[in-house]
Chains A and B, each alone.
Chain A
Amino acid sequence: MSRRTRWNGAALAVVMGGTLAAGCGAPGGDAPQPEATGASLAAAPTCGTAPVTLNAYIETGFPLPKELSTEFSKQYPNVKWNIREDQFAVITQNAPRVLADDPPDLMRLPQVSELVKNNLLKNLDGYAKAFGWDSWPASQLEQMRLAPGGKTRGEGSLYAMGLNFSMTGVFYNKKLADKIGMSSPPTTLAELDDAMAKAKSAGITPIAQFNGGATGGLAFPLQDLMASYGPSGPINDWIYQKPGATIDTPSNVQATQHLEKWIKAGYFWKDINAVDYATMMSRFIKGEGLFSFNGDWESGNLDKQMAGNVGFFLMPPVQQGGKQAAMSAPLTYGISSRAKNADCAAFFLNWVATDPKAREIGVKIGGSHPMGPADAPMPEVAEGTVTASTLDAGAKIAQDNGSMDFIANATGAIYAKSWTPQLQKLVAGQQTPEELLKSVQSDYTSQVGGS
């Protein structure tokens, strides 16, 4: 080997080594440092009068945030928007990196625990005090509160705000209901079972639901059944990662057994494990199922596509007149801990909840209940529409204190890695209700304890 080739070899090593050098040292040094607490503010902040551009990162496919931003700029012409849109799944995967590297002023958020743990979200306590958010019904903000360190949810400082809050329950096809002689929504679980049995023998698929891909839609009826059989409090404790919480309780086993009964009775489509959300919606709209467990984000859509032919009721309790519960979650938006225009973003969030025009957009476009004080004026909604009944349902849930977060939100991975495969196995007869809950609980324990 000549001297030159040896030199070349050395040069190669230097070039390669140089590019690889960045890999030295333990990964993860660039995370933001913790913020002491939400700074207290002398007065409620505003967007001022100087030109300001808010950077927003929102979920594509839902017109609400864009409509709100347009109206906001109309009222406050100095505020311009720079909006980036992605699908929710993409936002979920990108959230930590985007918040760390390219901090938006306002961002649609997935499950927030991990983001708070990494100090990526601004503590909103100061704004809550200045704007008076802490005098709103506590249940509205509960899901966005986190104890120090981001471990337990449901208590502690506020880290996000909702544009509105959604309500889940059961939609039903009125024409098909007439066919089986169901003149009013069922008031007990037994009545619901009865209606399903009648539908089945009339050749109508009782439940239009999805359970394919990475999103097991059977989690909707399952959690509704859990709340019928037992109290909603322990379910929330589990979702909020309170110490010692478990999903494997006797009443939840009963609920899962009930779901299995529905599966075995053939109340779902045979190909439910291959049906995704969009397919379910189009089949339900076409009249291929009597009931569908879903949320009021579809109210506006269903009022348009099945005008006059669709109704909504909350999951009935086991006992007549028992307390009712529903998954109800704010459409969460947060402010990056490194945001440039945090004050203006907070002012916008407050405006969404309190401005009459914004509340009207929230209901008409979003289909869900606006955030804000309990006595805030409600926008007019046409009688007999599904939107009207979902808003009424919201009042009933508030009265029963039955608002729950979704069991899929307990940890970042619990839905795709535990609930979905387990529920798909339950459908295929490869899993028992008892083992299903045990398995989910063991995944949960390792995720909560292990991270």
Chain B
Amino acid sequence: MTRPTPDSAVDSPATRPGPAAVTRKRSPARAGGLRTPSRVGWLFVAPALIVYAVFVLRPIVLTVQYSLYRWDGIGPSTWAGLGNYVKVFTDPDLFASILNAVKLIAFFSVIPVVLGLAIASTIRRIAASRLALVARTVLFLPQVIPLVAAGIAWSWLLSSTGLVNQLLGYVGLDGVARAWLGDFSTALPAVGVIGAWVLLGLCTILLLSGMSKIDPSLYEAARMDGANSLREFISITVPSLRQEIGVCVTVTVIAALASFDIVYVSTQGGPGNATMVPGLEIYYLAFSERQVGMASALAVVLMLLVILVALPIQWLTKDRS
């Protein structure tokens, strides 16, 4: 998983002026000395375009192509048509991995966004104090730590002798203690908690920066009308943050559906297949089972699923004013 950053999410190609727009704007400036400004424009765009074509578009096209074959990655391939896609939806193991990814959305999206809203509005109230600075830093820290390191640290915390079980022991809950990542019923939620921890900081910071843009006079007016802080939160803060919430939900839903590294480091898909997610399944299919065609088909399905989920979110949270 390439970690989604606030930049990449906000600065999507759609919001950026494309090369054609640049061209139109500049063409009246012919007298500027450059005979063909549009071509110069293309020159500027070319490096990025070529990199994008070679490292993003080409792999996507190749993946779609591979998904139509049975291929071990080396030897000759045979045409399979849509057979691989049929298997993705009929093989219970493969389909279960997609369901697991959907379940992870609750942890990767819902918790970070809801909790992030609460934390961000709390931090905003104490914005001037040193505590706010500390809280911001601590919350954002997981974004700076490599996911692999986070996964390893969490697998220690959640192990049968780890800190989580020790704390449970201190408060007399020995009965609940278990190897959280090795238990069929708790492994997926445990992985989800790790994801929530990683993504909470990202959402909090995004929402916090959105809050700083809200006109303080709105709050003042509301207070004069006798609104309490909950009312302020619901009627002013949340509606004003529509776009930021949209970005948070999009980024975290994609992180849930395309999750790989946290799962790979903490459980490798086990126990049984309790935490198997499509990202990991693709990797196993391609590199250990050497079914490049199947892996590609699952990858295409995953890509479409991400688009299918992300587009309505974008549409719902679009600023219509």
Contact = CB atoms under 8 A, between A and B. Distances in A.
A285 to B, nearest CB: 16
Contact of B74 (A96, A214, A421, A425): A96
Given A15-B49, A20-B61, A27 B71 contact: yes
Interface in A263-289: 269-275
Contact of A424 (B50, B61, B272, B287): B272
Contacts of B54: 19
A27 B65 contact: yes
Interface residues of B, number: 49
B41 to A, nearest CB: 9
Given A15-B53, A114-B72, A416 B66 contact: no
Contact of B272 (A5, A270, A421, A447): A421
Contacts of B72: 28, 96, 114, 117-118, 451
B278 interface: no
B53 A100 contact: no
Contacts of B269: 214
A12 B42 CA distance: 9
Contacts of B23: 4-5, 8
Interface stretch (B208-216, B288-296, B307-315): B288-296
B268 A214 contact: yes
B183 interface: yes
A26 interface: yes
A48 B161 CA distance: 58
B74 A271 contact: no
Contacts of B71: 27-28
14 contacts: A4-B38, A5-B20, A11-B42, A15-B50, A16-B57, A19-B54, A27-B65, A28-B71, A96-B72, A114-B290, A274-B181, A412-B288, A422-B272, A425-B272
A52 interface: no
B270 A27 contact: no
Contacts of B270: 212-214, 273, 420-421, 424
Contacts of B287: 92-93
B123 interface: no
A27 B292 contact: yes
A381 interface: no
Contact of A28 (B38, B50, B74, B273): B74
A376 interface: no
Q: Which 5 A-B pairs have the closest CB atoms?
A: A274-B182, A271-B179, A274-B179, A271-B160, A273-B182
B58 to A, nearest CB: 5
B131 to A, nearest CB: 37
